[in-house]
Each structure stands twice: as C-alpha cells, then as structure tokens.
Amino acid sequence: MSDRCSGDPTMYGAFWRGGAGERATIVIPGWQTMSYFSDVGSLCWFLEPGFERQVRRLHRLVGNAVADGYHVLVGNGSTQLFQAALYALSPPGAAAPTSVVSPAPYYSSYPAVTDYLKSALYRWAGDANMFDADGENYIELVCSPNNPDGGIREPVLKSGAGVAVHDLAYYWPQYTPITEAAAHDIMLFTVSKCTGHAGTRLGWALVKDRAVAQRMSKFIELNTIGVSKDSQLRAAKILKTIS
C-alpha cells in the first residue's frame, strides 16, 4: 500500500523482496565516499556521476522527460529541490516576496514547506486559479499527475512575470500513461515514487537554465553541504536494476 497522508510507498515491498532486491544489493567499502566532493569540476559537485548516468538512462528508456541538454541536480528528497527552486527563482532584490501558487486541490505540503522558513524571498499565495498575476512575480507549482486527485496538469497562469516548477514525482508508467517526454524548464522527480525507496531520501531535478541550476546547487550546498554519496550509490544500483 501507499499511505495516503505520507505517501509511504510500501506497496513496492513484495517486488523488492524478490529477485530484484538481490540484484540491487550494493557493498560500499569503508574507504569509499570519504570526500565531500563527487566531481569537483561539475556544476553540482556533490552529484555522483554514476547516479547521473542512471537518471539520464532511465528517462531515455521510459520516455517521460527529456534529459539531454538539461543539468541534473540531486537533493535530499524532492522537497529540498523544491525549496532550492524557490530560492533560485526569487529575485533577491525584489520589493516584496515572490508569490508561490498552485491550482487547487494541491499537495498539502506545498504551503507548509513554502512558508516554513518565513523567507523574505517568497511566500505562499494560495490557489493559482484565484491569483491575479497581472505584473506580479510568481512561481506556479504544477504537480502532474496531481497529488491528491491524479489529474494531468498544465500551468493555469500565463503571465510573462511568472515561472512554473513542474513536480513530476508521479509521472511514471506505474501511475499514468506516458504520453510525451516532458521538456519543462524545471522538472522534479523523487526516488521514493519511482522505485519505492523513500528511505534513501533522494530526489533529482532536470534544469534547463545553467544560472538557475547553479543557484539551486548553491542552496543545497549551504543547506546540507551536498547530498549523501552512499544514498546516491545505492540509488544508482536500484535504477540500473529496473532499467
């Protein structure tokens, strides 16, 4: 089952207790992953190259998102990447916080996560359908398939002053038909909904603009000094197993 409140994906347990679980086993020697750095020359210096390869490979196989030409970022779950996107997209010198909206019904954590730090950069502004976007900076969160109702979503706001962040956590064939390869400016995914490994605490983002990707990476650097390399190595093996 998948817990309706927390999204805990225990329904995948039977699959991984079978042969697939053995194939996904990994041994990490004591000397490995001692450095903070995975690739010192990379934009996202804490991203394990093996995890990036498997992410790109999986998207090419499934066809749910364009990965070529995009920067791959890794985060401590997609929630951290969501926060990183808000940070990266909010103008630091704006007279007022950037409004963050999503069409109702929306994921229940969006308001709480947005306002958790009471940032001067952004604030939760509610239902996108009720938002007056005339000339105001905004970020629209587009969850598709939508949590909680499963509907396929597109941005409802069209003003040039705004930007959309696409939460595609459930855009996998076990949840919905894959009708096209998504190619949005910012796309968020999570290992928990892809394979069921919520405890690995990993998400990734596909980001088109280099400057936005750099700011998102900087947020994660300042927030948690990167992301667990052990988790990335395990997730890479898991993604390879299913692809």
Residue 192 pLDDT grade (very low, low, confident, very high; cuts 50, 70, 90): very high
Q: What is the pLDDT of residues 193-210, one digit of tens each?
A: 998 888 899 999 999 999
CA angle 220, 86, 77 (to 5 degrees): 45
pLDDT of the residue at 1: 39
Strands 162-167 and 203-207: unpaired
Q: What is the pTM of this model?
A: 0.94
pLDDT of the residue at 5: 47
Average pLDDT (133-144) is 92
pLDDT at 109 over 60: yes
CATH topology for 44-242 is Aspartate Aminotransferase; domain 2 (3.40.640)
Residue 4 pLDDT grade (very low, low, confident, very high; cuts 50, 70, 90): very low
Closest CA to 193 of 226, 162, 167, 169: 169
Residue 25 pLDDT grade (very low, low, confident, very high; cuts 50, 70, 90): confident
Give the CA distances from residue 58 to residues 105, 205, 231, 237, in Å, rounded to whole numbers and listed in that order: 30, 14, 17, 12
Enumerate the domain spans of the chain.
44-242
* Region class of 168: left (phi > 0), else alpha (psi between -120 and 50), else beta: alpha
What span, in angstroms and rounded, lies between the C-alpha atoms of 131 and 138?
10
